[in-house]
Structure 1
Amino acid sequence: MNRVLHVLKYYRPAFTGEGVFLERSSAVMQEVAPAVGHDLLVTHTPRPADPREAAACSTLGRVVHLSRRPLGALGREAALVWWFLRNIRRYDTVHFRTHADWYFLSYLLTRLAGRRLVLSATLDDSLPVLTHQYRRSLRPLVARAFGLFNAYISISPKLLNETLSAGADPARCFLVPCGVTVPEQPPGTGARLREDLGFAPGDTVLLFVGGLCRRKDPMFLIENLPAILSAAPHSRLLLLGPPLEPDYVEALRERARALGLEGRVHLAGEQSNPHPWFAAADILVFASRMEGFGTVVPEAMAHGLPVAVRRLPGVNDSFVLEGETGSLFDTAAEYVAAVTRMAADPALRRRLGAAGRDLVRRRFGMRTVARQYLDIYGLPVDAQNSESGAAAPGESPALPGETRPSPLTAPAVPAAAGSMPGASTPAAGPEMETGLGATASVLDTRFHHLAPPPADGRPRLVTMVDAEEAFDWSRPFSRDASDVSSMAKQHLAHRVFERHGVVPLYLADYPVANQDAGRAPLRELLRDGACEVGAQMHPWVTPPFEELVCEHNSYAGNLPPALELEKARRLTDKLAEAFGDRPLIYRTGRFGVGPRTADVLRHLGYLADTSVTPGWQPNCQGQWGSWGISARPYWCDRDRTLLEIPVTGALVGRLARRYGARLGPVAFHRLAGRTGLTGALSHLGLLERIRLSPEGMTLDEAKRLVRVMVADGHRTFVLTYHSPSLAPGNTPYVRSAADLDHFLAWLNGFYTFFREEVGGQPVSWRAVRGLPASAAPGCRAAPSAAAGLRPAAALEPQSPA
């Protein structure tokens, strides 16, 4: 894998626009080139006490802060040089997104190591500006030192012209504007937010987005609001952004009070997701006095908002076009006239907004910008395993009842006219963008927060069934395998479920939902309140069929994010059509979760995932393995919207507690299995791995697993198996009628053990997620406990989690 090191002075928890842009652009670069990894080195912001404070972007593989405390110039330089000496070999390209090394030593080390070196100008840091920050006697030497860079990136024509004026080689100068990504907003998002804010339907909402500081000049907007109100009395000013200068923010509040604007000026603070606020607004107003690009303006335009913006020559006058996409102002009178004109004419706002949206999506699409960056880095675009290439036309038939869709990518759009000399021009125009964020991860522990255990401390058990087509597990994957007749046999297990008060969750895949033989039995169970339904992704039988059918692509997480998203969307829609409700819990078949799966699920509105089995590492995961992941439910994101409910699995034995995480990858490697090491460790009781399933595990093993985990404080357990196992001959675990009888007896024996010895209870996944019980099908009451039932109080957790 190729790797890029990005270098910033300031990063989270400090706010920087360049840091936010890096997060967004790295997400799209990962979509364009999955084989390129991205890390971040932070030179000035000290490492936060809680490293999760800096875990904001899952597509930045590592975020490294140079030190734990603020350093002086010489101390920071020494630390930077030492870090580069130890780590530069890891990277192919180093992109300094700000001039972070006053002494040029890390730049020199990068070039001596034969790595590509890139420098960005983003605000007032073009080459002549940077050079003039040094003493006059040093400037000739500094100008030569800047020649170490292979490429100079400017985000506006103004900055590009300044860099060219310093004598930089035009072949190494590139104009790359900040790209814009606009995720879809659910219908009614803006209206609901306006209602929550107390705005009337007829109010005209003027929106400012940016850090609250003197440079951005939101004071100008407040001081001119009375003049706007005199002509448009239903106007509201909404200021959205972090308080970068607290004294200035207090001055804003005082000025609004002095002008009698209480109830007209609203300070909403920093919002991690500003897009719903664009949807709630009518006009973007922006009075910043200095910007390298001013990304918020094209972002608002991409949402269809007209804009009134202070004129910054060479920065925003190439896309804020007077009377076409909005207005530029130099004076307060021009600003007031522009806003009142737009406020009075909804048709004008719609026309300006539509033109702005078309211009921005044509010129500033993040996918186009990501390709420009990768080209400047000298790294391959669309670099992915050849196995994941597109399927040849007609290679694989559609599933029963399914027509083959069109390709994912949109037709090429000609490059925008009027590109500046030195601009990096892509061969094709914008492609379909996913709109995915990069703020969650199922597998990256930086993003994880353990969910609390049940309040009563009682063990709880969720039963999950992979409802899927039957196929030969010993043969290659095929899209022709679509037999779901085994769904008619699920009533056999329900005899056991009824006895123990179990309401299972069927994680249904596309063939089950797409065929009456699959969906009809589940509809009957749903009607009777005897089951719940979620989603399961088998990529090879889920449209659209754009990838080759192979082992690599059988793991959804290996697919390009755009394709993984579209398959998940089609599956979700099909399940909603088949069963009347959109599924809210998801599993990747073969436990093939990937680095962007959590973003996909959040985007589609899922509340929970169950794609992880601790101790089992699918071949798809590479560095994203599950050895160090908790078996307890955990949140996958800082906002705590997506809960991972792992399938219960663990390493047990005398070596498990202290050495399991380190020994597991070795002890359960294929080579260890062939040499007998795995079996020997298990036979001696030193280390074995057990998954809570009747498939491949004995009842005694399952009981031993639960006893060990309960003693260790675990209170949530997930039992799982495959639906085809209830029809003999479909899976390796049930080959005969006798095997089926043993399978059902296993289930009965385990539920009896869990209730009567452990003191546990069957629950819905919704209870684990904290959803109201009324949202789920009614759970049957379990039989009363036997006289010898151990009380739950005897099994209180040994730790809070």
Structure 2
Amino acid sequence: MKGPPRRVLHVLKYYRPAFTGEGVFLERSSAVMQELDGTVEHELLVTHTPRPAGPEAAGFCSTLRRVAYLNAAPVSTVLHYARLAWWFLRNLRRYDTVHFRTHADWYFVTYLLTRLAGRRLVLSATLDDSLPVLIGHYRPGLRRLATAGFRLFHAYVGISPRLHEQTRAVAAAPERCHLVPCGVTVPQAAPGMRERLRRSIDAGPDDPVLLFVGGLCARKDPLFLIEAMPAVLARHPGARLVLVGPPLEPDYVRRLDEAVAAAGIGAAVVLAGERLDPHPWFDAADLLVFASRLEGFGTVVPEAMAHGLPVVARRLAGVNESFVLQGETGFLFEDREGYLDAVLRLAGDAAMRRRLGAAGKALCARQFGMRQVAARYLGIYGLGDAGVDPDIDQAAGPEAAESGLGCTASITDSRFHAPADAIGGGPGDGPVLVTMVDAEEAFDWSRPFSRDARDVTSMRSQHLAHRVFSRHGVVPVYLADHPVASQDAGRAPLRELLQDGLCDLGAQLHPWVTPPFTEAVGEANSFAGNLPATVELEKARCLTGALEDAFGIAPRIYRTGRFGVGPRTADVLKQLGYVADSSVSPCWPTAAQRHDPSAWANPPGPYWVDRERTLMEIPVSAALVGRLASHGGRVAPFLFRPGADRLRLAGAAARLGLMERIRLSPEGMTVEEAKRLTRAMLAQGHRVFVLTYHSPSLEPGNTPYVRTAAQRDRFLAWLDEYYAFFREEVGGRNTTWREVRFGAAQAAKPAMAAAS
């Protein structure tokens, strides 16, 4: 089992929305550190960027569990440093390590507090902030004191050879100095993306596309690239220069626009703006051009190399000479003549571009793999792998292939959420009902989990429910797990239903019966979200592939078995191409979530879990109902805690109309309870309802809810009565998850066609 979390506090001066390269690296490296050791949590304090007005302006990273902004607006220097010290006094006890990614405390107060508290203290040099440079910012009379202050740190990180050697020259203990370059991650390219992007800028297959990625500011010098573009166009009229990055300096951006207009090259220069994910542009380009005059490392250059692009970059001594190898992985230039010579050679020679690109890609894999870099940081933090879960096979070390998981979405973290436009929500519209069936193996719910529990013969009885479905126009989605997909007894009956257009297909992950089997079987690991992100990803990938092989269609809606959603589940689903999830069951929290008030809140309905609005959560309908329901966050953890049944408190509270916990399901709920739930949720403004049950309940003896044939008859009668109630009393109608996710146009598509 995992031990208690160890926390690292990262401190940055500047973060979203005024993003910096070090902020980008922090997000990406924290994601991989979390994959290497899930017991290490990462939080961020932003000292200088004012707190954004709303989360949509800030953006978030799913592996930064907390982002705190010191100030809501600019304040005086005295007040700023007073607030910084007070913040540390109140919060320092939470952390094991504090990593100042920039020198953020001019007076060393927080550094001293960190040491006095016995926490590990780390300082990074990322641009022009090596120790000699930082010390040189102080008045001569204070430099000896500043030198002593910087020696409070346990470790110093330089991201380039120049910064590393400069710091070593003045550090009291050179062995505390670590050269750790920025790691590089390369997500998998979406099929056809290169062609789509090139068409969007009118670039033909053979037209050279030059790419710049970075903030539009004088230091990065994209003006140099624009002013050289006419000479490139003279030899290659179809060439394009794409500038991807935020406009950091408005006056400078106006100069860029003026230069483009003066040269008459508007069709050849594309200002693509800031991109949350710039990687598709790397895939669309033929070479990277980078004229920045000052970088601590210049991560974008090795990123381009990792994509297989040759690079043409301004020479920065002690920064990029070790990986931009002249004529091997790219070219370094010092003036306009050198730049044009390199660009024109590469633009006219596709074979050279391929050769240099392949060499650069291999070099990046050796030197800048993010897993290697993340492992180095865990060691510097003094955490290493001490917290690795012994219940998980950890054979895959830092040298293993990278998962490519992003960190831009969360099903459980409200910072990422935005309400979805729910159907049935307009004036005069009635509510809608989606039916979801957990298509799974039968197992004894009272016994420990077992990999041998794989009986899926109950799938042969699903036609009994379809007699009810046909009377009410219900087209359910079967959320099938691995035993169903991998055995003919499970897939054959479901395949018939799919072929007849009577249902749709989704995925449901039961970790204990889904390969790869690297974790110990037990209660905690039965929740997919408790597994390391890489294990959860591989199991979800295996399940998705098994369903595609069995049914010839790709599932696009997902559920974690036992509603075991975790902090990286959304990132997993985005990588695998899912567009909807139904892993949230309000008011039924896991043991770890029980005392979180938000776990007892009823979400307002379907919601987006990422800024791009590509993944929608469609929660199961469940709520606290009764006169005390509004106090559920305080009362429910006590009322529904394990063992409370012996005191019969929940039953008494329900009989008195004070509070009852109801899920929209024929399993364990009476139809009258389901009706009360529906009326209560309608009164709160809900318009999308989700009914769910388990497929083994259709054969007596498989679940606690259906032990006899008579109980099965009552189960089916429950469905019949509830569907009639939903239509006749509340004016609702049945629909599919596709209509909720995509709108009415998708709802009419046959399941086999729509899912592909």
| Pairs aligned (count) | 743
> Residue in 2 aligned with 1:496?
468
What CA distance in whole angstroms lies between the structure 2 residues aligned with 1:459 and 1:442? 24
CA-CA distance at 1:651 after TM superposition: 0.4
Contact 2:736–2:747 (Cα < 8 Å) also in 1: no
| 1:54-73 correspondence to structure 2 within 5 Å | 54-73=58-77
CA RMSD after TM alignment: 1.5
Report the counterpart of residue 365 of structure 1 in structure 2: 369
CA distances 1:469-515 after superposition (whole Å, capped 9, x unpaired): 11111111111111111101000000000011101110011111111
**Residues of 2 paired with 1:774 and 1:134: CA distance?**
65
Moved more, 172-181 or 667-676: 667-676
- Deviation of 1:521 after TM superposition, in Å, equals 1.1
1:612–1:626 Cα contact (<8 Å) kept: no
**Is 2:48 aligned against 1:75?**
no
Deviations 1:102-159 (CA, angstroms, capped at 9, x unpaired): 1110111000000011111000001111111111111111111111111111100000
Q: Is 1:638 aligned to residue 607 of structure 2?
A: no
Match of 2:433 among 461, 476, 481: 461
Residue identity matched to 1:521: P
Q: Alpha carbons of 1:763 and 1:557: their partners in 2 closer, same or farther (altered >3 Å)?
A: same
* 1:757 alignment counterpart: 729
Residue equivalent to 2:754: none
Match of 2:565 in 1: 593
Say if 2:403 is the partner of 1:434. Answer: yes
From 461, 471, 480, give the equivalent of 2:443.
471
The aligned counterpart of 2:578 is 606
CA deviations over 1:572-593 (Å, ceiling 9, x no partner): 1111122221011000001011
Q: Which residue of 1 aligns with 2:622?
A: 649
For the residue of structure 2 that corresponds to 1:439, the secondary structure is coil
Report the residue type matching 1:442 in the other structure.
Answer: I
The answer (yes or no) to whether the contact 1:584–1:605 under 8 Å persists in 2 is yes
Q: Deviations over 1:327-353 (max 9, x none)?
A: 111111111111111111111110100
CA distance 1:707–1:116, shift in 2 (3 Å): same
- Superposed, which structure 2 residues align to 1:167-246 within 5 Å? 167-246=171-250
Cα distance change of structure 1 residues 604 and 573 upon mapping to structure 2, 3 Å threshold: same
Aligned ranges 1:178-577 → 2 under 5 Å: 178-381=182-385, 383-389=387-393, 409=396, 430-454=399-423, 455-456=425-426, 457-577=429-549
Distance 1:28 1:93 in 2: 18
Residue type matched to 2:401 in 1?
M
Q: Is the 8 A contact 1:308 1:329 kept in 2?
A: yes
> Retained in 1: the 8 A contact 2:623–2:663?
yes
Residue 108 (structure 2) pairs with residue 136 (structure 1): no
Give CA deviations for 1:376-423 in whole Å, capped at 9, x if unaligned: 000132734333346xxxxxxxxxxxxxxxx7x3xxxxxxxxxxxxxx
Determine helix, strand or coil for the equivalent of 2:633.
helix
Q: Distance in 1 between matches of 2:595 and 2:9?
A: 18
User: Residues 177-218 of structure 1, C-alpha deviation per residue, up to 9 Å, x if partnerless?
Assistant: 000010111232211211122211121000000000000011
User: CA 1:382 to 1:578, structure 2 compared with 1: closer, same or farther past 3 Å?
Assistant: farther
Per-residue deviation, 1:778: 5.1
Give the TM-score taking structure 1 as reference length: 0.91
| Offset of residue 623 of structure 1 | 7.9
Greater than 4 Å deviation, 4+ residue runs: 620-625, 774-779
Give the partner amino acid of 2:581: D
Q: Please report how far the alpha carbon of residue 675 of structure 1 lies from its aligned counterpart in structure 2 after TM superposition.
A: 3.2
Structure 2 unmatched runs, 5+: 752-756
Structure 1 residue 256: Cα displacement: 1.4
Identify which of 669, 672, 675 aligns with 1:700: 672
Normalized against structure 2, the TM-score is what? Answer: 0.96
- Code of the residue aligned with 1:633 in structure 2: it is P
Give matches, 1:38-117, under 5 Å.
38-117=42-121
Alignment of 1:146-185 (within 5 A): 146-185=150-189
Distance 1:220 1:469 in 2: 64
Structure 2 residue aligned with 1:402: none
Could you say if the C-alpha distance between residues 145 and 505 of structure 1 is closer, same or farther in structure 2, counting changes exceeding 3 Å?
same
The letter of the residue matching 1:129 is: V
Contact 2:245 2:273 in 1 (8 A): yes
Structure 2 residue aligned with 1:786: none
In the aligned structure 1, how far is the partner of 2:440 from the partner of 2:513? Answer: 10
- 1:37 is aligned, of 41, 44, 49, to 41
Secondary structure of 1:62's aligned partner:
strand
2: CA distance, partners of 1:430 / 1:621: 34
Q: Within 1, Cα distance between the matches of 2:693 and 2:48?
A: 51
Equivalent residue number for residue 424 of structure 1 = none
Hey, what does 1:784 align to over in structure 2?
none
Task: Pick which of 564-573 and 205-214 moved more.
Answer: 564-573
* Residue identity opposite 1:317 in structure 2: E
> One-letter code of the match for 1:438?
C
- Does structure 1 conserve the Cα–Cα contact (< 8 Å) formed by 2:739 and 2:746? no
- Indicate the SS of the match to 2:85: helix
Deviation at 1:772, TM superposition (A): 4.9
Q: Map 1:675-694 onto structure 2 (within 5 A).
A: 675-694=647-666
Structure 1 residue 546, shift from structure 2 partner: 1.6
Task: Classify 1:352/1:363 alpha carbon distance in 2 versus 1 (closer, same or farther; 3 Å).
Answer: same
Q: Which residue of 2 aligns with 1:787?
A: none
The residue matched to 1:211 in structure 2 has which SS? coil
1:566 positional shift:
1.1
Match of 1:738 in 2: 710
CA contact (8 A) 1:647 1:692 kept: yes
Following superposition, the deviation at residue 166 of structure 1 comes to 1.9
- SS of 2:90's equivalent? helix
Give the drift of 1:618.
Answer: 2.2
Matched residue type, 1:698? T
TM-superposition CA deviations, 1:533-582 (whole Å, max 9, x none): 10100111111112222211111111111111111111111111222210
Task: Work out whether 1:721 is the aligned partner of 2:693.
Answer: yes
C-alpha distance in structure 2 between counterparts of 1:706 and 1:323, whole Å? 69
> Which digits, 9 at most, give the CA deviation of each residue in 1:586-621, with x for residues without a partner?
000010110000000011111000000000112365
**In structure 1, distance between residues paired with 2:649 and 2:464:** 39
Measure the CA separation in 2 of the matches of 1:310 and 1:570.
Answer: 45
State the alpha-carbon separation in 2 of the partners of residues 7 and 697 from structure 1: 50
The CA deviation string for residues 67-118 of structure 1, in whole angstroms up to 9 with x for no partner, is 2111121111000111111111110000011011111101110000000111
Q: Structure 1 residues 365 and 772, CA, compared in 2 at 3 Å: closer, same or farther?
A: farther
CA contact (8 A) 1:468 1:484 kept: yes
CA-to-aligned-CA distance 1:230-260 (integer Å, 9 cap, x gap) = 2333321111100001111111111111112
Q: 1:231 to 1:587 in 2, by over 3 A?
A: same
* Displacement after TM superposition at 1:670 (Å): 1.1
Q: Is the 8 A contact 2:621 2:689 kept in 1?
A: yes
